[in-house]
């Protein structure tokens, strides 16, 4: 099977960047704290997430190449045009949603604003399964709230809720 390097090149670069970050963070961030979550935790966690997601994306694209049947060049061009026009609007709506979330947090508080933002973003991205949208939004918001408020001992803007 032939690997299309043009499709996986950005993911490979991001995976290498994440590995570079994992290797360099211990030299850049001095961690003298006695807490389990020190100053190097979030940069290291972010680098690990970058590597995992990039490798997963490469594996997905390689696996997808095996399963996809040959399409004519015209079908591919038509589908790319449709995807590009939808993609531009999705980026605009997602960006607007994130900025709205930032400005609404002080008014409604973290929990309600994040719950609504997650619902909105999942619909904009293209998920249409109502139960999944609701469950993921509730679980994501609750998990994030518990992680930050109780495990990391940070506080959120309270808002009216």
Q: Check whether 53 has a pLDDT greater than 50.
A: yes
Q: Would you state the pLDDT for residue 150?
A: 85
Mean pLDDT for the chain overall: 82
Q: Single out the residue of 23, 17, 57 nearest to residue 40, CA to CA.
A: 23
CB half-sphere exposure, 124, CA atoms < 13 A: 18
Query: From CA 56, how far away is CA 48, in angstroms rounded?
Result: 12
User: Which tens digits make up the pLDDT trace of 40-49?
Assistant: 788 888 999 9
Q: What is the pTM of this model?
A: 0.53
Q: Which two tokens stand for residue 87?
A: 């993609």
Query: From CA 125, how far away is CA 94, in angstroms rounded?
Result: 8
Which residue, chain included where needed, has tokens 């109780």?
150
Query: From CA 91, how far away is CA 35, in angstroms rounded?
Result: 38
Start-to-end CA span in the chain (Å): 55
Helix (H) or strand (E) holding 10: helix 5-28
Q: How far is CA 56 from the centre of its chain?
A: 13
User: Which tens digits make up the pLDDT trace of 58-97?
Assistant: 888 887 765 554 555 556 556 666 666 677 788 889 889 9
Q: Would you state the pLDDT for residue 96?
A: 92
Query: From CA 16, how far away is CA 41, in angstroms rounded?
Result: 19
Q: Check whether 29 has a pLDDT greater than 60.
A: yes
């Amino acid at each position: 099977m032939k690997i299309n390097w043009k499709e996986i090149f950005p993911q490979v670069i991001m995976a290498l960047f994440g590995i570079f970050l994992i290797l360099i963070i211990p030299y850049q961030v001095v961690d003298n704290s006695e807490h389990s979550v020190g100053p190097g935790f979030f940069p290291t966690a972010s680098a690990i997430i970058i590597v995992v997601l990039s490798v997963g994306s490469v594996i997905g694209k390689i696996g997808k190449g095996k399963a996809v049947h040959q399409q004519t060049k015209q079908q591919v061009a038509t589908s790319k045009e449709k995807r590009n026009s939808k993609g531009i609007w999705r980026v605009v709506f997602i960006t607007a949603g994130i900025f709205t979330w930032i400005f609404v947090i002080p008014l409604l508080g973290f929990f309600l604003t994040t719950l609504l933002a997650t619902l909105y973003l999942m619909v904009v991205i293209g998920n249409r399964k109502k139960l999944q949208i609701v469950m993921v939004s509730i679980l994501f918001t609750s998990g994030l709230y518990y992680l930050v408020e109780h495990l990391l001992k940070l506080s959120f803007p309270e808002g009216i809720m």
